[in-house]
Every structure is written in structure tokens, then in C-alpha cells.
Structure 1
Amino acid sequence: MEQFIDAAPGIRLWTEQRGAADAPPLLLIMGAQATGVGWPEPLVDALAAHHRVIRYDHRDTGRSTWPFDERPYRIADLADDVIAVLDGLGIGRAHIVGMSLGGMLAQMMLADHPDRLLSATLIGTSALSTTPYTTPDGSTVPVEALPGISPEVLELWARPVEDHGQAAEVQRRIEHWRVLAGDQLPFDADHFHALEQRVIAHTGHHRTGTAHGRADNSGMLRTDQLAKNEVPTLVVSAPAEPVFPPPHPEHLAQCVNGAYVVEIPGMGHALPPAVQGPLATAILAHTGATATG
């Protein structure tokens, strides 16, 4: 079921619900410039067998309002949109699953609105914390010394995005996914081709948004609040991750009180078919062990 939510004056967010209406709610939060349909259908279906699954389009993605060029906003406003989606759908508390920027928004939810959460799952993201990383041998590593984004990803992100038509744009996105997916699993170009065709059909155009990369990201740190977290939290570790490579997941689990890590073999910063089953299993084990309140 599709529904639009008024998140703020002049801001409408596209949402979709799947699964039994009386099942425990589970909200999927995608990454920067990514639409809700970026969550793969088989993964959504697997989760919807046990949950009322909600996915949505951020501002400046998909079918939601694209306001940034006329009315710039902060990344923190995207976190407020998470609450707006829950309120608009009449959901008091939900499990949340956040990927990449979505994982950062999920951390802000853990810190600022723990009463709205049943559990959290954090994927492909880094800690909103200044707490140093403690290595297995007991030494400490400052946050700024943790591994950074891979040079291949940085080089791709530095290229100007030019419109050479839809076919060329789809191919550009596939090559982007090839790098993001990492080098531990065979690259499934057909999967990502179908994904981007679906995203374009859903959005209604092939323009690439840049709003989230330009938005003010100040005020996102939640060091003290995350250290006091009481919401059951799963951190997914992706060994082929090129954006937030290991030990970022282990560091994140140290920063979020009570969090634990599950590794998905071969996973990078993408959701190809090979990782969807293991990821669904990990998420459902986590949500299933959590009281529904």
C-alpha cells in the first residue's frame, strides 16, 4: 500500500507498506540520494513475512518532494522525517533498519527518540561518536585514524555527473555499484541494471540528485547518548565494505551501548542477491529476540 505523508510544510514523503497490518512495524531507512525502492524486493518480502514493513523516499529522492535548491535543509531534518513517517502512519514504536546515511539517521533516532524504537539495525555506516576504537589487543585508535573511504570510491564521487541520456546514466550507476559492491563476490550487473531501471521508473526521471551531499551535516554527533543506549541494536559488518571498511562496524558497536556485530560474508556497500538472504536472517533473528512492547 502506497501513501504520502506530510512531513513538514511543503514536504511530502512517499511511503509503501507491506505485510500484515497487525505485525510488528519495521521501518527501512535508505542511504543518501537513494529511494525507498533501493531496498530489494526479495529482502522486503522476507522481512514482510514477519513484519509490517515500511519503506519511504527521502526528500529529494523518488516520488517525495525535491525542495533543496529552493529551500535547503539540514541532515538533521532527514532524521525528523523518520519521526514524521511513523507519526503519519500512526506507529508508536518500530524496529528500524538503516543503511549508510540511513544508519546515521537511525543512530540519531537511538539518541533522540529511543522511546519510538523496538530495535535498530545499522548497516554500512559509521559511528556518530568521538569515542576512540579499542582494538582486540587493547590499544586505542582515534576516530580520525580509522580507515577512510576507498580511493576508487572517492575518485568516482569526484567525477562531475553529466546528463548523456537515460541509457548512459544507467550504465554510470551500474559502474558505481560495481565499486560499492566490493571485490569479494562476483558482480551481478543484471541485478543492478534492473534496480536502476526500477528506480528511474519509480522516480519518473533519470536525473541524479545531489542534495544530501550538499546539506548541512553539523550537529550530528551523539557520543554521550549512544554510550547510554538501551535499545537492542545490531551492527552489520560487511568485510568488502569500501565506504566504511572494518573496523568501523566493531567501532560502532563499541560506541552504541549493548550493540553486537553480525558479519554478512562477502558483503560490500550494496545489497546484491547473494547477501539478501543472510541479511534478512540476521535482521529477523534480531527483531525476533526483541520484545514488541
Structure 2
Amino acid sequence: MNQIPLQDLRVTACIDRVKLDLKFAQPTQGVAVYRTLRSKWVISAATVPEGFDPLRCTEFRLWLNDPGSPQEVQALIAFLDAWRPLAEPVRISGLEVAVDLRAVSPDGRASYPEIGTLVWKGQSKPPSDRRIATWRETMPSGAVVRRYQAVTLDRECADALKQGFSLQCGNLGASTTSRVYIKTKDTPVGGDGLVELPMSEQCVRFERTWTGDDCAIRTLDDWRLFDFRALATQFGMRQFEFENPRNAYLSAGKVDDERARRAKKRLSRRGTRVDGRWAIAVRSALRRLNCPGSAPVLSREFGEKDNNLALFSIES
């Protein structure tokens, strides 16, 4: 398999997590914040900035899973403000967006490991050259153990996905990371651990996470106005099939400028072009994340007219 079989897949996108920075007017306990919110929302443990006492602190950071929309996050903030008055507006310091690939037919689910390998190795803009397989396991005592495995060959990547590993790209603690895995379980609201998903909901998930200065949104107003199609290039895939020489070299031969002719021939080589069909499918999926009335993309890099032409080349 040299190309993602989009004709056999349904491409969707979702906002998987947002990272919220909270500051209460009065000191409180991180455990109390976590337990109070867990009954209504799926969140990670409420952490405090380094050097602060988790038993008596005013600042907390938490990852909110499946936030849905700014209106739902606003409901969470209103709940918090009524429970413990907030000293300042809540800030967003992290964003995780996921693109899901679901097989149209039951037979297509058998190729999930191969599809995941293509997605992981075909990223046109990987966060870094550091690639590793990770596996997070929760022990009966509640302790979380992370296991690591080096993967290089396609066969090793596919086997790691079958075993439940996540293929991760990016340095530890970096502000931008990506992850590919086969999603078979999910965390229920108000519950502990993971629950097996129905076969129809299992998918190959491609996640990109941005934190700190790389996070595109900082407030709920930014979220309401943001056009998520601007993230399409972050999910770009390389085209690993050769272009038909008739389409590449005949047109290149008609170009008088030698520099333009060399550039055209370069784009015909394997792995030097962006998969245009994938880019169009991802942009369509990301567009559904926009809030009603969100502002259009004004950047030339992501503009409609310019991007239709720029989808098929990779910046050097």
C-alpha cells in the first residue's frame, strides 16, 4: 500500500482536547478541582505550576477532553466561577485537533495498521525527526507506566499499532507534537479507565498538539472566530506514488526557463509532492469545526484561491 485509500475511508475531524489555565481568587486544592469537574466533564488531572503547593494554590492547568464548542467550555467556566470565584478570565494554552479515518466497510478495518503507518511516515510537516512508539499502561495500583519501542521499518510500525502502541513524532516537552494510533477505547464521562468502542466507531486517529506560543487560540473569542482550515497544512501528507511522466516532463519541456523546468521535474519525484486528494478531504473535515459566523481565512498561505494551487507542492 503506497497511498491512503480515501475512497474506502470516511475522514472526519474533532477538537480532542483544550488546555485551560485557571486562576481562583482563593487558594484551593487541586484534588478538589479534579474531583468536582470529573463528574461532569472528562479531564486530565488538575496540575499546578512548578514550585507551587498543590494543596493550597490559586493557579491550575487542566486538559479538557472532547470540549465540543466554546459554549460548552463557557458552561464549564460558569460552573467553576459559581463553585470557586475566578480571579481572571480563563486562558487557553493548548489545543489538540484530531483527524479520524474510519473504514466504510467492515473489511477495511483490517488495513488500519497499514493506513496508520502511511499517515505517520507520510507527514509533510513532521514536528521533528524524533519518532518513537509509546504505550501507556495503567497498573492495578493506579500508577501509570509508559513503555517505549524504537520503530523504523513499515512492518515494525504496523506491528506496534496492532499491539496498541501510539506512533509519536516530536521531542518530549516540545510545543508541537503529532501522534498516530488506532483508537479502540475511550474514557466515559464520570468514569474511570477506558471503555471498548463499538467496531463502527473504531478508527485510525492522527493528532496534532500545540501548546504555549504555538497554540493558535488563546481565548474563547479566538476560538469562535478561528477558521480551522488554517491547520490543514499541519496535517499534510506526502504523495508517495510517482507522477505520470507524460504529465510531468512533457509540460516541463514546454517551459523556456531552465529553473522552472528543474522545479517541475523535482515535483515529479516520489515523496516531493503533497497528496492533493488528502489535503482537500482534511480541509473539508476541519471546516466543520468552525463556529457559525467564524471569520474566513485571510492569510495568503491558507487563502482559498492561493491554497488550491499550493496544495500540490512542498515548500523547500
Same fold (TM over 0.5): no
Q: Comparing both structures, which one devotes a greater share of its residues to strand?
A: 2
Structure with more helix by fraction = 1
| Higher alpha-carbon Rg | 2
Q: So what's the TM-score if we normalise by structure 1?
A: 0.29
